[in-house]
Amino acid sequence: MKKELSNQKSIYIHMDNVINNVVTSGITFCDFMQGVPAPPENILLIKHHFKDTSYNAHTAFHYLESNDLKQLKQAPLIKFNNFCWVDFEDIELVNQLSPQEVAELLYLAHTGRHLRSPFYYKLQNNFVYLTKKDGRYNKVYYRNMNHFYVVLSQAITRKTEEIVHEKSFLMPNRRKGVALPPSDLLKKMMKYFKEGACISFAHAEKSRTQLRVPVGIEFDEDLSELEDSPEELVYNEVVAELVYDLRRSEWDYIEK
């Protein structure tokens, strides 16, 4: 078996607007927490491997509060394997969950699929975050799908910075920050996200003035293959490009 990718370059997206979930590869929990406009303050851990957590006797789930979540940003990625959670507003609301609702949450964590709506009135949750291998194959339900595009913008910026600054580690003072691509620009790719698309930083072309990142579609394999494979998926057609102007620090989107 080939060595697993330690720093995946490309971002894969498959969006389902009917049930408000997005399957991604190349977007991590840290991207999510740094990008989402209203990050969760408390999360109910429905599957995890963390040791320092609080315990809720009513549901037999562990949970983390805001101070705990701040520390998670510094944790290594392996800590987030088999990491499934829903956010909640108040622990007293968690204590009102019915046995049926607890069973539904267990089913979500076990199968990655919802039985009924994944957004619970009692929890007032905005997200359901499901992953076995964080950053490699994540499935996130968003109550507000606009939040996904802000998270995607954060991930694109991080990967752009890795390319732009890859040879400037000896001169950190000369590094110029990369601008966040606007959500409205990223939404132009929605029609491709619905079928499955790749923002291919692995095939990005950099000149003195621009970074051009192809957007590919039509894969020979399903995105679920990423969960067990160390390889990046191969796309068969380039339909657009994301273009970053290095001098003006501006993004553009060009259809093929």
Looking at the chain, how many residues does it have? 256
User: Which residues contact residue 222 at a Cβ distance below 8 angstroms, ignoring those fewer than 6 apart?
Assistant: none
CA 196 to chain centre: 15
Q: What are phi and psi of 138, to 5 degrees?
A: -120, 145
Mean pLDDT value of segment 173-202: 91
pLDDT, residue 5, reads 43
* Residue 152 contacts residue 192 (beta carbons within 8 Å): no
Average of per-residue pLDDT values in the chain: 90
Strand 197-199 to strand 210-219: parallel, antiparallel, or no bridges (unpaired)?
antiparallel
In the predicted structure, residue 78 carries a pLDDT above the cut 70: no
In the predicted structure, residue 76 carries a pLDDT above the cut 70: no
Q: What is the pLDDT of residues 143-153, one digit of tens each?
A: 999 999 999 99
pTM > 0.85: yes
Mean pLDDT value of segment 77-88: 85
Query: CA 152, CA 142: separation in Å to the nearest integer?
Result: 13
Query: CA 76, CA 96: separation in Å to the nearest integer?
Result: 34
Among 225, 234, 228, which Cα is nearest to 2's? 228
pLDDT, residue 80, reads 78
Helix ranges (DSSP H) in 3-96: 29-35, 66-72, 91-94
pLDDT tier at 166 (50, 70, 90 boundaries)? confident
Measured on CA atoms in the order 205, 187, 17, 128, is the torsion positive or negative? positive
Among 9, 34, 5, 12, which Cα is nearest to 161's? 9
C-alpha distances (whole Å) from 128 to each of 12, 47, 191, 202, 245 are 19, 12, 23, 29, 35
pLDDT tier at 117 (50, 70, 90 boundaries)? very high
Among 29, 140, 138, 9, which Cα is nearest to 76's? 29
In the predicted structure, residue 32 carries a pLDDT above the cut 90: yes
Q: Which residues pair with 56 in a beta bridge?
A: 61
* Residue 220 contacts residue 196 (beta carbons within 8 Å): no
In the predicted structure, residue 3 carries a pLDDT above the cut 80: no
